[in-house]
Every structure is written in structure tokens, then in C-alpha cells.
Amino acid sequence: MEPKKLYETNVINTDGVNGHVFVEGDGELDVAISDPRNDEAGANPEQFIGLALSTCLNATIEAVEKREHQPHTSQVHVHVTLIKGEHGLEFLVHAKVYIPGVDFETAKTYTAIAEKRCPVSKLLQGSANVKIETVETL
């Protein structure tokens, strides 16, 4: 049985990190992009990864909070670093999840559930360069 399609999009980049990337279709989105190592205006892959993980993980935690009849209080802060590693350029991704509306053990449980359900987290799963942790303070 084929999985039920919930959403799809087409993102097109013809310029690398110097120009634009866009989403085609209704409500087209066009984003200026640039290499993070220069002074040109524009977003970069590091920012896109941080945006994707923080948004997806926090939306998933919000669903867990709702299921548990808790108000949505979570915050997800993602720090992305570009390094030159053994195998060339690599990203180090460190997500900090803060949920002030519940005790710390419950916050860790919510984070663990969300980490298993969030599609972006699943995509990054297993990478030694990705760390997701629950924190008591920011």
C-alpha cells in the first residue's frame, strides 16, 4: 500500500549559494541565498537546517503538549556550525529544547517523543554531528 501523501513541494536552486532559491507553485517563495563566509545578503544552508529542525521539532512538541492537555510553552533553539572535518565541510547541529510549563523529567519525555516523530529529526537521526537535548534553562 502506498503511503498517504499529506503535502509536497518543489524547491529549485540554480545558483548554488550565490543568488536565489525558490519554491514553485501557489504562494511561490523566493529567497536570496549567499555563502555564509561572505558579506552578501541572503540566507544559507546552515540557517535552513536550523529553521527546519527548530520548526518541525517544536511543532511536534506542541502536538505532544496538546495531547497531554498542556499549554504550548516549548522553545527549540538550534545552533548550526560549519566546520572543515575529516571528510570535508560538515555541519554540527545542536538543538536545545526548553519546556518551562512542565517539570524537567516530563520535558525530557516530551522531547524524546518529539524526536522520534518529527520528520526532520528522523532525517538527521543517526548522525554523530547532530545533538538534541532538553535543557532546564536557556
For the stretch 4-34, pLDDT in tens is 999 999 999 999 999 999 999 877 899 999 9
- How far, in Å, CA of 114 to CA of 97, rounded? 10
* 52 and 35 fall within a common domain: no
* 57 and 80 fall within a common domain: yes
* 6 and 59 fall within a common domain: no
- Give the residue among 9, 18, 27 at the shortest CA–CA distance from 45: 18
pLDDT in the model for residue 102 = 97
Residue 61 belongs to domain with CATH number: 3.30.300.20
pLDDT in the model for residue 1 = 87
- Give the residue among 133, 135, 36 at the shortest CA–CA distance from 94: 133
What's the domain range around 17? 1-42
pLDDT in the model for residue 70 = 97
* 66 and 31 fall within a common domain: no
What is the total count of domains within the chain? 2
- Give the residue among 31, 75, 57 at the shortest CA–CA distance from 124: 57
pLDDT digits (tens, 9 = 90+) for 56-105: 999 999 999 999 999 999 999 999 999 999 889 999 999 999 999 999 99
- Give the residue among 60, 67, 129, 136 at the shortest CA–CA distance from 102: 136
- How far, in Å, CA of 122 to CA of 99, rounded? 21
* 61 and 117 fall within a common domain: yes
- Give the residue among 20, 85, 9, 89 at the shortest CA–CA distance from 52: 9
